[in-house]
Structure 1
Amino acid sequence: MPLGRASFLEGEKLTRLTPTVTPDSEELLILFPQIASLPASVLKTPIGTLEHMRDEIVAALDFAIVGF
């Protein structure tokens, strides 16, 4: 999942489309609008799991694809 620092994305947060995660006490946004445009070569080492956020992730994907 592409992530962005919430502090760098002031004013860009869309609650349903970019849910917030907080690994290691740093607030990050999951950037679903950019999920298809991010080449795998720029992904770095995984930092953890978002399994506990499954419902929010599925809701964001549904919103991105269907619009509601």
Structure 2
Amino acid sequence: MLFDVDGTLVDAVANQRRIWARWADLFGLDGEQVYALALRSRPAETVARFLPHQERAEALEQFQRLEDDDVRGG
């Protein structure tokens, strides 16, 4: 099994930019601002920075669904 978590073998920048832009759009946020923070933090931290506490769990699940859909080509 091979893991590539630093983008050496597979460049995931476009993928992550696309997912965060979709996520930001769902919540009425600026995609560039969200992505700028997401580049240097974990998804849970990014979500926490932009949304109130009561929305975070569902918003993080939404992000994960967007990732899954993107991987499947959706």
TM-score by length of 2: 0.31
Q: Which structure has the bigger radius of gyration?
A: 2
Q: Relative contact order (C-alpha < 8 Å, sep 6+): which is higher?
A: 1
Larger helix share, 1 or 2:
2
TM-score by length of 1: 0.33
